[in-house]
Amino acid sequence: MRTGLQGKTALITGASRGIGKATAFALAAEGANVVISSRKQEALDEVAAELRKAHPEVGVLAKAAHVGDAEQAAACMDAAIAEFGGIDVLVNNAGTNPYYGPLVDLDAARAAKTVEVNQFAIVQWTSLAWKKSMAERGGAIVNIASVGGMVTEGGIGYYNATKAAVIHLTRQFAVELAPKVRVNGIAPGLVKTHLARALWEPHEERISKSLPLGRIGEPEDIAKAVVFLAGETASWMTGQTIVVDGGSIVRPSIA
């Protein structure tokens, strides 16, 4: 199937590594220009060099921005529009988890940071993309949530609460921005990323054996789903969050 992404412009947050980086490569492989953003320009420049070498046929722009900073977010959007004329795809991927432990011990500062990056940043970047480009030209938005937003789990309960919010924001924006913009989400299971390293690295073999598909996810597994939702193959989908988790939430419970 043709995705229709050739010549489009995609902006990906949290794109210096992990799912964001894999997504940038997957969209570039479909012929899309890519705008990659994260906090550190140096890391972005390295990824941009890799992208240009692998896909010299597409445009690449690396623009650092703290995902929770409104001025930096707006500057990133403006740079993308100046370079490519508009934004057709926004991938809200950036995330953080500064706290591990029970909810009753969570402090306000780390709670606020988790909400700022995982939850409100989606509102902020989506609003900017709509007002600066998509209200006129249309587009597609893909939000990276988590299967944690659908289940309970020890240690990362507040992170999961913000990801549950992402799932609802996806539905809400799908209604508010229709019919010009489609808004969908992806709920990954455990993926081999730097952010999740403490969860998978010490127990990779055991966790892999517990999954119906027998392995922990790779960033590319999620990137492929982003390409599907961003492209024409999902042209009659909006407000949905698809689970890509190797079967983790359907595996049999242990008595």
Question: Domain map of the chain by residue range?
Answer: 9-244
The CATH code for residues 9-244 is 3.40.50.720
Task: Provide mean pLDDT across the span 65-85.
Answer: 98
Task: Provide mean pLDDT across the span 219-237.
Answer: 97
Contact 20, 220 (CB under 8 A): no
Q: Which of 117, 168, 140, 136 is nearest to 14 (CA)?
A: 117
Among candidate residues 99, 100, 158, 159, the one labeled active-site is 159
Q: Where are the beta strands (DSSP E) in 24-137?
A: 33-37, 60-62, 89-92
Token pair 């993926």: residue: 191
Contact 126, 173 (CB under 8 A): yes
Token pair 């789990």: residue: 153
pLDDT (tens digit per residue) in 94-153: 999 999 999 999 999 999 999 999 999 999 999 999 999 999 999 999 999 999 999 998
Q: How confident is the model at residue 196 (pLDDT cuts 50, 70, 90)?
A: low
Q: What is the pLDDT of residue 199?
A: 64
Average pLDDT taken over every residue of the chain? 94
| DSSP state at residue 173 | H
pLDDT (tens digit per residue) in 43-53: 999 999 999 99
* d(C-alpha 166, C-alpha 155), whole Å: 19
* d(C-alpha 45, C-alpha 47), whole Å: 5
- What residues contact 228, with CB distance under 8 A and at least 6 apart? 3, 234
Strand partners, 91: 12, 142
* d(C-alpha 146, C-alpha 164), whole Å: 8
pLDDT (tens digit per residue) in 151-191: 998 899 999 999 999 999 999 999 999 999 999 999 999 99
pTM of the model: 0.95
Report CA torsion sign: 13, 14, 16, 18: negative
For this structure, is 158 an active site residue? no
Contact 175, 166 (CB under 8 A): no
Q: What is the pLDDT of residue 254?
A: 60
Q: Which of 47, 36, 34 is nearest to 8 (CA)?
A: 34
